[in-house]
Structures are given as structure tokens and as C-alpha cells.
Structure 1
Amino acid sequence: MFPVFSRGPRPLRRGSLAPVPVILLALMPPAWGQSSGDALPTISVEAEAQTAPPLPTAFTAEQARREIQQTPGGVAVVSAEDYKNSSVASTIKDVLGFVPGVFAQPRWGDDTRLSIRGSSLSRNFHLRGVQLYMDGIPINTADGYGDFQEIDPTAYKYVEVYKGGNALQFGANSLGGAINFVTPTGRDAGINSAGIDMGAFGYRRFQASVGGAHGPWDGFFTAANQHAEGFRDHSDGHSTRVSGNIGYRFSPDFETRFYLNANDVRQRIPGSISRTSALTSPQTAAPGNLALDQQRNIDTVRLANKTTLRLDNTTFEFGAFGVDRHLMHPIFQWLDYRYKDYGGFAKATDDRIIGGFRNRLVAGINVINGTLDNRQFANLGGQKGALLSSSLDRSRNTSVYVEDSFYVLPNVAAIGGTQFLYATRDREARFGSKSGSTEFNLWSPKGGLLWDIDPTWQAFANISRSAEVPSFGESASGPGIPNIPFTDIRPQRATTYEIGTRGKRPDMTWELTAYRANIRDELQCIYSAFGNCNVTNADRTVHQGIEAGLGVAVLRGLFDHGPQPNKVWLNVAYTYNDFRFDNDPTFGNNQLPGAPRHMLRAELLYKNANGYYIGPNVEWVPQAYYADSANTLTTDAYAIFGLKAGVDDGKYSMYIEARNIANTAYIASTSILDRATATSPLFEPGTGRAVYAGFKMKW
């Protein structure tokens, strides 16, 4: 994830500016497969002025980095080469594990507990607080929930991560921000491929992609079929995922592109278990999950169009999408949910000289609407029983945003922007439920500074607001707790202060960001009944932390001193989380449950100029963290070690990877409650010792 900065054609003007205070030393791991000793790209204003840049749909990962790093805050781009050819790459953790500030831990199958800066800690199922996109097309449902079963890590050329309010351009209205998975087009190099991965616990995956261009037409399609028995009992699953796009280029400045994504996923759920069971018999499934044959099965078809037009200094992007999703989900009841989501988007980016100063204006609108045909039946040992409740849920979301970057100096931009979100949630009861509706009008302004200290080094600071609209799943009811319908849940609002720096020098890359978010009405687990978390509004909470990463060549020319010397490369990603209640009437200043205070991932790789690599890695959580708001029950500290080796010459690649070599029993993630006991079934065990191997070829 090398930061590379390109200032572009900016005017020279006399002036002065007091230096922005940069106290933080920042470190970010490098992009896998890119030589750390490569010379930095030469910046040529004349060449850039004469050569038309590519349209956004044709960006490489490096061009996407240059674009995203015009944001004065925490962002990252993860190239497919960082993970796809050197790892089994079956979960989101494999993709985002070296992005500081992102907590991603698999629970079972493809399901992952994901939190960015403490988002979604109270959501014990699915995902909330981070908005997921595929080529800018929403993956989350219209009311905000999402999951990762529709994500195929082998399908993308890069992944963009926008933390918190830095996701303004996606209409993101949450503390965690947004993640955008970007597929190749038929004009990208090396897109024809085939590969096989196999390994522990019955894992196997076959993947292939094909694409190309002919005149104004181009196309790309990829498919993957995956099967796994799973580490834990009752965690077997299989899936088939297909993605693709077809584009027509009217001119170098005008194209339209049609996207397809389809998924067929069948997955059993082993369930959360007690702390003792997780650490002594981690393969055991929860008894209730076995008795009810609990599963999460999804069929999805997603269609979209995006048209891009560039006129002089302004680029327009606009399009529409539709999603048909069927969730078949036998858990405590047999949930039969049919989603119909649709919407559109338009965005304009204008970059020009005004009065001798460079000015970059981004403005747009996003519309995400949807209906949910919600039917819940009795679960009779995994079979659908009598209808228990039924409703028709409608969600409407319209966000309008604008952000302006005015370069007061050729290398210093003052940035201001705002987003307005209008959202509604409406439930029409049909059987066994209650009707209700709610409406939200939310402003989220932001402001910041971006300083290109030199072509290899940036510093930034910003203040941003975010607001998260509750989904239909937020409510509280049960014996001994208040009855709070979803219509009484207030939106979560946060003000985030952020300062940091990122850069790339020969043989070193880094990022360091410090932030603090003051939150009102955080969606938190305040009450519980029947062992389930009831999500309502906390009063005041604080999320603050440090996100640090380092990539450095600790040794060069170990066996070869030629023009591309061998290297021993150290990657480190460290996250410090301090999430807590703020003088809460019930929980005081207790720590918020659900995420570790410290988490470190590191790897030491010997890299040969011919593409060979080998080295160990470690994941370390040195301190147990709480599973309940009362701070009475904790996880367990752990360290797990791995080793990987392989070769990648650009055409053929092979790897072998060993994970958790010591077969350590550990807790990977936890669900949460307000008050837990020693036997509360909250914990998801990590996977035991596993070995995977794979082979891929490109042409």
C-alpha cells in the first residue's frame, strides 16, 4: 500500500504559510509485489498537461492511490498483488489485515467481524457502520446492514478504504466509513487467469477470469467456486460467485459500462460459545445451532451502469443500479427476506486554475432506496414452520455532498465540504408485527488541511462530522427491559478530529494517524434479554486511537548486489483502540466491549529479484478485551505465528502458507452483551493449525 503523490499541474505563486505541526510519525505496510527500492516516479508537469489521464474506471491501483491521497485523512488502497497471489485470500481479513485501524476477524465461513475505528461493535450479526461498495455500487441493503458473503477477494484489482468522514463522496453516513471493491476492465493487463487453492479443513477454490478489448468494446468476467468443510463443527459451506463488466468507449473522454455481479452462497453457522469452550474445545458448535441447523444462505443478482464523460477540466460520472437479494436464514426463527434495492448516483469533479490558484471541486448525489419483504417462520430443525410475523419494510436514502480543495500554496490545500442526508424508514405490518415510520435530516460538515511536504511525504489534519441512521434491526424488548421500537432510536452522531502523515521513501513506507471521535447516541448494547444484545442509544461515548504501519527494507543485497538487489522486508501494522463510555449513568467510563485495545500484525519476508519469497508472520493481541459493557468478562490474550513461501514471476505464481503453526487455541472475536456471565455464549474461536497451497497463471 505504497503512498505515491502526484501534485499535478498546479500554479506557482508567492506566499507563505506557517508550517503545519506534524508530531506523529506514521508507518504503513508496502504494496505486495512492488519493489521498495524502485525510484520514485518523475513528476513532469509538461507531460501531464499534454497526455490525457485515464478515466476513473481505467485507474490502476497506483493511480487510485494518487487520487485517494487528495483526501486529508485516513485512507488506503490495497492492490490485488498485495494478497491474491501469495495467500489463500478467502476472507476480508486476508485483504485488509495490514490496513491499520481496520479490525477484521473471520467468525465462520466468509463471515467476518469488521470494525473501523470502533464501528459496529454492538452488531453481533451481519455488519453495520461501514458501507460496502462494488465498483461504487452499494453492497449494503438500503437500511444499512451488510455482510461479506457476496465478496470474492479474487475478483478485484484493488480495494479502496475510506475511514470515517473521509468517505463523504460515497454518501457514507457512518463512523466506520466505506470500502469500495474495484474490478478490472477488459483494458487492464494480465486479466486472463486461472487458479486453484486447496488446504486444511476441506478447503478448495477454483477461479478463472477472461477479458479483452476490441475496438471501442471491452469486457471482463471472473468466476470462483469455493467449498470448505470448516474448522468447527457445523461450519461447512460452498459458494459460486460471478462478476463482470462490459464497456463501450465513444472516445478517450467518454465511455459507458455495464456491471454484473451474481452470488449463490450456502453456509452453515456453528454459533458463538462460552469462553471455556472456545479455549478448550474450539471446534465445538453451539448446541442450539446444531438443533436448529442454523444457516445463512444468499442468492444475489446485482446490475448497474456507469457512464463517464470528461469535458476539459471536469469529469462527470453517473449511473443507476438494481439489486435482487434473497436471504434464507434459519436461526432462532426461519428468516425469509427478499430485498429489492435500487438507486442512482451522479458525481462531478472539476480541477482547474482559478485566479492563479489550483481548485478542485467534487460534488454529487447518491440515491439508495429499497424494500424488504420480511417474513419470519418457526424454525423446525432447519425446516420452515408456521408464519410468525410479516412486514414490508421500505428504506429511502438521498445524500448530497460537496467538497472543495483550494490550494493556498502549490503544495498546501485547504479543504472544506459537507454532506446532507435525507433518510426514511417505514414498516408496514402485515402479521405479528407493528407498523411505524421515521424520518431523518442530517448535515455532516468537514474541514481539513493537506500538505505535500515533498513528492514522497504528506501530512494532513481534519475535523469531520458523521451520522449513522439506525436500521430496522435496532430496538429493545424483553422481560425486565424497556420496550423501545425502532422508531424511537435516534441516529448516531460523531465529531472526529484527525491528524496524521503518510509517505514513501526508497526502501520505506509509513503511515501514522491519531484520531478522537466524540459520539452522541452511539448505537450500543444497553439491555439484553435471552442472551441477545438489544441495540439502543448510549448517551456519550468516545472512540480514539492510533493507526500506524511501517514497511522497511531492513537488509538489502543479502545475496545479490545487482540493479534489483534481494531484500529482507519488514511489514508492521499496529492499531491502538481506546473506546469507552463517557460518564454514562449505568456504565460510567467503562471500556466499550468488542475490540482489542492493541493489535499487531507483522511479517518479515526475504524477497528475491526473481520473484521468490519466504518469511514468518505473527498476529499478536497482547491484552484481553471485554465482551460486555459492565466489563466483567474478557477474551484472552494471544499470539499466533505463520510462515509463507512462494514465487511470482508475473505470469506464474505458486505459494504455500502455514497458519497458526503452534495450533494455539484463541478467541478471534466476540459478540457482546450489557452484562455477561462466565457461561455467556459470546465467543468465536480462531482457526487451528492450517496449511494452504495454490497455483495461478496469467496471460
Structure 2
Amino acid sequence: MPLRHFTPQTRPLACLLLATTALACPLSAHAQEASVDLPTISVSDGQGGSITVRSVAEARAALDLIPGGVALVTAQQWQNTPATTIKDMLDYVPGVFVQPKWGEDTRLSIRGSGISRSAHLRGVLLYQDGIPLSSVDGGGDFQEIDPTAYQYVEVFKGANGYQYGANALGGAINFVTPTGRSNPGAGIRLDAGSFGFARFQANVGGVNGAFDGYITGSYLSQDGFRNHSSGTNTRGSGNFGWQPTENVETRFYFNATDVQQDIPGSVSKYVALHSPQSANPTNVALDYERDIQAIRVANKTSFLISDTTKLDVGVFYTDKSLFHPIFQVLDYGYQEYGAFTRLVDERSIGGFKNRLVMGVNYGTGTVDAQRYTNVFGNPAQLVYMSNDEATTTTFYAEDNFYVLPDFALVGAFQYLDASLGRVAYLGTTSGGNDYQLFLPKGGFVWELGPDSQLYGNVSRSGEAPTFSELTNFAVGDIANLKAQTATTVEMGSRGRSPTFNWDVSLYRSWVENELQCQDTGVLMGLTCTVVNLSNTIHQGMEVGANWSMFQGLFTHGPAQDSVWLNLAYTYNDFYFDNDPVWGNNQLPGIPRHYLRAEMLYKHPSGFYAGPNVEWVPVAYYVDDANTLNSSPYALLNFKAGYEPPGGRFSVYVDARNLFNVNYIASASVTALAAPNQALFEPGNGRAVYVGTKMTF
């Protein structure tokens, strides 16, 4: 069925179509009352016009078709902050718990994914413009993520990232870059603040006929709040597109990263709360660091095969080195490459609208791993050497079938084939594991009105262990771990209006063989013994809201001032399910309640100001035995700025932890903690940041 002939009753499919081409689809009552007549696809307007990279409106329309918890965060929501870590990007997304540790290293958990991981990422898959960004074995890091380099971020919570082949319990995050078409011109930004923080960033983009390009780069330096936490990073990225015809576009991406970062390490609870700037003495003596140099290149080519079908194909390659003095000096070299294809087809079948998404992700890579004894941060004797190889293939499909004009049944599946192998040369034994998982999903999306929805799904998720989890540092062998799987039931609603937006989800996951990283108390949380737990339950509630409480306080007419309440509340109820050792104890590592709230005054001139809070009202346990916990805390922050209409200039002030509260931001977990075990990462003290951004 040609795209330009959708009727008002098929707005969900029309929006999908718009989301998969270069057109916009406003969510408005007028669109429900009038016939939708889509114009011929145009890619030469310079205001979006890309087939490979969707605009914000297109991406939001596509997310509305997913029968589960999703979110879209635009750069406008974090650009007037220090934007150092992904906490600045995602802190107001309910269901996402994200806490910085030191430098840009961040602990991330979505719906309890990887709650035991205090180093590196697991349980959430990363993408850039739909191209796999995580390591082939499923792990990941945040040091290569530059918040100043993206125009928006898509968050797929739980098993709602099926459309990209994401199979993890926590879902997926897709970082979307600007193009020369969406962001022509040049820009610079300067930021400075407490603890020696300074950053310079610049970007330039433009269009020349069928070609466009966008380049950005940044340099950041900071001393850090804690001792032995200083670091620098230099990051650059860009993309270049070519549209030889109105139905074809190819885009080349590159990313380069150079990170030099000291690691202060975990400390005891007493030290964290009474001497939070202290570093772990072992980290200082052995000069713990994490230094990364990485280059990534990728290509994505999109074909509009017909009025109803779009095909994406692409490839990617990463070359990364890690120099990582910890209990030993890790000197690792990573080389990974892969390919992907994704088809979106939307047509009428027997008089019913139907939308099909299907694709394949393939990745393979090697790790040249060497470890040396650590002598004051320098490599000495070689004690370990191996070559690790991982290959992962994911087949996926998701179909929305509209049995009624405003009600779609959704069916989906994924098939994951993961193989991890090790060839040992020194200090370990060779071995490997293979995993095959079939993961189905069923759900619905019900359009309650032009701007509101009710949704639900039942899904399966599954995760193979990563190489770092299969490595048993105590004995050097490949661990015999099972894949973690889960069955999740979810219900929720979302909607938008000019003065009120909401997003509410309820879910319950029955998790089998949950992978838990148990700190041994010896290696400062940077390595651990990973085990499969017995049955566990993850359930919770996610509430997000934006409410314009007052309008026209001091200004009247078409452009009024307003006071907005922005809220993100997450309730986590995670526990063992009749475990033979731990009974029904709470799972450690994450607060039961987490609240971010902001009251912001906005003036039509561009001035804004207001306080915000971060509140963890109840301490959480850090061990399976539930004998040692963190501490509750509440932080008061304040921000103000000026960003006049037109967006050519902005300035901000961001003051954090105004009362200089000593608190615990993150923690490692273990089975049974000692009272003074070094498991805790203190949060930053009082800090003030200022910045300005200019575009030309």
C-alpha cells in the first residue's frame, strides 16, 4: 500500500512510515481529524532530510509503536549541564539507575540489569545510530561516550529493544549523532567548574548538494573530587553522508578516543561517609589507572526500496587498546568487526495494516590479553597471556498487526548464537562456551487517543556471560557459567499534551541463573568472581512526568512564562526467590526507591532557574546475606541559565550538592560482607559548574 494514502485511523502506521523515511509526523488532534496525505520524500531541505539518521520527531513516532517502556531524551535536556557522564543524559529517565564513580566511569542498571557490576557494563546493549556499539561478547564501557557528540538518545527498557536485536534484561540504549543536514554551521562550548574541571568542544557541519558532513571534538581535564581520580580525555567523532538519489543514502562514521584516568577505588563505609575524598591506599601504591585508546569506523546504507519498504545494511570495525594497572597490569588489545541488516516493511494485509521489522546482527572479535605483575603502576613480569575470540549472531523480527485501527497485536522473537573461546599461552587453560537462546515476545499497543497509549507485553530475555565474567581470576580457568534468562510481564501507559506528559510502567521479571559479580575483598572491586544465582525476582514501577503547573505568572499573551515540575521515580523490588542459602533476601546493589525531581521556572526570553533534588530515602544492602548496607541520602541542587530563542547562544550555572552531603553513590556487592570491607564509592561534594555554548 503506498505510503501517501494512509487514512486518519491508521496514524500509528503512518507515523511508523514517517519514522522510517525522512518525513515528520506530528502527534496532534488535527492529524486525527483530517486526511493524511504524505508528500513525496524529500532529502534536500537541509533540516533533517537524512534517510540513515532519523529526526527527533521521526524517532519519537517510531517509539510510540513499541509495546513497552521506552524513552527519548534530546540534547536540549542535558546540554546546559557539565554533561560529563551518561548520568547527565539519563538521570530523568524512570527505571534507569545511573551513578558516576570517578572520571567518566559510570555504573548503570536498567530494571536491575548488572546490579552487581561495579566496573564495565553488562545487561544493557549500546548502539550508535542503530549500529552495534557494545563489545561482541556483550560487555561495554562508557569512556568512549561523549555527551556533547549526540543529538538525542533512545532508551529501550527491558525486552523492548527487539527492533535492534537487543536481548539483555536491561534493554538497549541508542546514541544518535547529528548530521550536516540536521546541524549545519559551526559551534563551540566552554565548561569549567569544581575539582579542576575544564572542557573545550567544537563542531562543524554542512551540506553540499548530495553530500553532507558533521565533525565534533572535545578535550576534557579534571582533577577529580577524590584523591587519585584525575584524568584527561580527547574524543573526536564525525559522519559523512552521500545521497546519490532520493531513495538511497550511505553514511560513514568514525570515532576516536584517548582516555587517561586514575582510579581511586572502593573504600569502607566509614571512610566513604567520613573521609570521602580518600582513595584506597592500594590504588595509590600501585597507581591504578584505566587508559584507553580506541578507533571505530562504520558504514550504514539505507535503501527506500518502495513506498512501503526500507532496508538498512552496514558494517563496523573497532581497534582498541587498554592499559589498566590494577592488581596486575592488564595490557589488552581488542579488534572487532561485524555487519548488520535491518528491514522495515509496512503494508496492508487482507485489509489490515501491518508493520514488520526484521534483521540480523553479526559480530566477531579477538582480545590479545597480557597481564604483568604491577610494580608501582608499571608492568614487570609477564604472568598471563591468552587470545580470546567471541562471535555473536542475532536474528530478530517484530510485527505489529492492527486488528483494529487503533489496536495492534505485537509478536516478536530473537535467536542468539554466541560462542566464546580462549587459547591460552601462559597462566591459564584453554577453553570456551557456546550459547544458543530463543527469545519470544508478545504484546499490544492500544491508542487511547491521539496522544496517549496503553501497552503491555510478555517477553523473554537472555544474556550470555562476557569474557570478563567467564574469567575466574582466582584459578585462571574459564568459568562454567550458564546464560542468564528471564520472563517479564509489563503493563504501562504514556502520553503527551502541551502542559502534561506522563510515562508509567509496571513490570515483573522471573530471572533464572542471574549473573552476579561477587567482590572478593582483595582486588578493590575491579575484578570479581561471577556466579549464577538461583531464581530471583525483579519487579518494580517507573513513573515519569512533566507538568506545567503554572503559566502566565509574569508574562501574558502567546508567549507566557511557566513553572514546570519534572519527575522521575523508580521503585525497585528485587529479591531471591526461596534460595536455599539466602531465602527471600533482597538482592544487593541498588536502592529500592530513587527519585529525581526538578522545579524549573522558564521565561519566554530564554531565562530559566530552579532547584532539583536527588533522593535515596532507604539504604540498600551490598551483600546477599543482607548484613551490610549503604546509607540513605538527599541532595539539593540548583541550576540557572539563559538561552534566548534562536539557540545561537546559551550560558548556564549548575550547582550540585549544595549542603555538601557525604554520601555513597555506588557500591560493589559480595555474598557475605565484612563490616569494613572496601565496597563503597563516595559521591562528589559541593560543586559549581559554569558553561557557555555558541553557534555560528
Q: 1:418 to 1:39 in 2, by over 3 A?
A: closer
Match of 2:106 in 1: 112
Distance 1:292 1:683 in 2: 19
Q: 1:202 to 1:43 in 2, by over 3 A?
A: farther
Match of 1:323 in 2: 318
Match of 1:581 in 2: 576
Match of 2:667 in 1: 670
Distance 1:265 1:477 in 2: 27
1:515 aligns with 2:507: yes
What letter corresponds to residue 612 of structure 1 in structure 2?
F
Q: Which of 452, 458, 473 pairs up with 1:457?
A: 452
Match of 2:190 in 1: 196
What letter corresponds to residue 293 of structure 2 in structure 1?
D
Q: Which of 274, 277, 302 pairs up with 1:308?
A: 302
Match of 1:154 in 2: 148
Contact 2:8 2:32 in 1 (8 A): no
Q: 1:667 to 1:487 in 2, by over 3 A?
A: closer
What letter corresponds to residue 38 of structure 2 in structure 1?
A
Distance 2:36 2:66 in 1: 24
Match of 1:470 in 2: 465
Displacement of 1:697 in angstroms is 0.9
Q: Which of 477, 482, 486 pairs up with 1:494?
A: 486
Match of 1:505 in 2: 497
Matches within 5 A, 1:290-689: 290-312=284-306, 313-475=308-470, 485-525=477-517, 528=520, 530=522, 533-649=528-644, 650-689=647-686
Displacement of 1:75 in angstroms is 0.7
Distance 1:310 1:388 in 2: 54
1:279 aligns with 2:273: yes
Displacement of 1:191 in angstroms is 5.2
SS at match of 1:63: helix
Gaps in structure 2 of 5+ consecutive residues: 11-26, 43-48
Displacement of 1:559 in angstroms is 0.3
Match of 1:50 in 2: 39
Displacement of 1:486 in angstroms is 3.5
Displacement of 1:134 in angstroms is 1.8
- Measured against aligned partners, the alpha-carbon deviations of 1:536-560 in whole angstroms (never above 9, x if no partner) come to 1111001000000111011110001
SS at match of 2:554: coil
Q: 1:478 to 1:60 in 2, by over 3 A?
A: closer
Contact 1:168 1:401 in 2 (8 A): yes
Displacement of 1:361 in angstroms is 0.4
Q: 1:495 to 1:223 in 2, by over 3 A?
A: same
Q: 1:250 to 1:99 in 2, by over 3 A?
A: same
Match of 2:78 in 1: 83
What letter corresponds to residue 521 of structure 1 in structure 2?
N
Displacement of 1:600 in angstroms is 0.4
Distance 1:221 1:488 in 2: 45
Match of 1:18 in 2: none
SS at match of 2:159: helix
Match of 2:173 in 1: 179
Distance 1:9 1:611 in 2: 39
- Measured against aligned partners, the alpha-carbon deviations of 1:449-479 in whole angstroms (never above 9, x if no partner) come to 0011111101100011010000122258688
Decide which moves more: 225-234 or 138-147.
138-147
- Measured against aligned partners, the alpha-carbon deviations of 1:626-660 in whole angstroms (never above 9, x if no partner) come to 01111001100000001111011211000011000
TM-score (norm 1): 0.93
SS at match of 2:491: strand
Contact 2:472 2:478 in 1 (8 A): no
Contact 1:525 1:674 in 2 (8 A): no
RMSD: 1.9
Aligned pair count reads 666
What letter corresponds to residue 668 of structure 2 in structure 1?
S
Distance 1:379 1:443 in 2: 43
Q: 1:40 to 1:507 in 2, by over 3 A?
A: farther
Q: 1:475 to 1:317 in 2, by over 3 A?
A: closer
Q: 1:236 to 1:527 in 2, by over 3 A?
A: closer
Displacement of 1:438 in angstroms is 1.3
Contact 2:53 2:176 in 1 (8 A): no
1:263 aligns with 2:257: yes
Gaps in structure 1 of 5+ consecutive residues: 1-5, 14-37
1:68 aligns with 2:60: no
Q: Which of 679, 683, 691 pairs up with 2:688?
A: 691
Q: 1:203 to 1:682 in 2, by over 3 A?
A: same
Q: 1:139 to 1:690 in 2, by over 3 A?
A: same
- Measured against aligned partners, the alpha-carbon deviations of 1:143-166 in whole angstroms (never above 9, x if no partner) come to 122111001000001011111211
What letter corresponds to residue 9 of structure 1 in structure 2?
F
TM-score (norm 2): 0.93
Distance 1:51 1:561 in 2: 40
SS at match of 1:50: coil
Distance 1:101 1:342 in 2: 32
Contact 2:363 2:392 in 1 (8 A): yes
Contact 2:68 2:457 in 1 (8 A): yes
Distance 1:160 1:611 in 2: 26
SS at match of 2:52: helix
Displacement of 1:530 in angstroms is 3.3
Displacement of 1:368 in angstroms is 1.2
Distance 2:686 2:565 in 1: 24
SS at match of 1:473: helix
Displacement of 1:58 in angstroms is 3.6
Distance 1:40 1:567 in 2: 23
Match of 1:29 in 2: none
Distance 1:365 1:656 in 2: 45
Decide which moves more: 528-537 or 378-387.
528-537
Contact 2:222 2:230 in 1 (8 A): yes
- Measured against aligned partners, the alpha-carbon deviations of 1:253-306 in whole angstroms (never above 9, x if no partner) come to 211010000001000000000000000000000000000000000000000010
What letter corresponds to residue 93 of structure 2 in structure 1?
V
Contact 1:7 1:455 in 2 (8 A): no
- Measured against aligned partners, the alpha-carbon deviations of 1:330-368 in whole angstroms (never above 9, x if no partner) come to 000000010001000000000111221110000100001
Q: 1:117 to 1:232 in 2, by over 3 A?
A: same
Distance 2:494 2:472 in 1: 46
Displacement of 1:174 in angstroms is 1.0
Contact 2:547 2:564 in 1 (8 A): yes
Match of 1:135 in 2: 129
SS at match of 2:136: coil
SS at match of 1:62: helix
Contact 2:250 2:300 in 1 (8 A): yes
Distance 1:182 1:430 in 2: 41
Distance 2:578 2:163 in 1: 34
- Once the two structures are aligned, what percentage of the paired residues are identical? 50
Contact 2:518 2:530 in 1 (8 A): yes
Match of 1:9 in 2: 6
Distance 1:46 1:124 in 2: 53
What letter corresponds to residue 602 of structure 2 in structure 1?
K
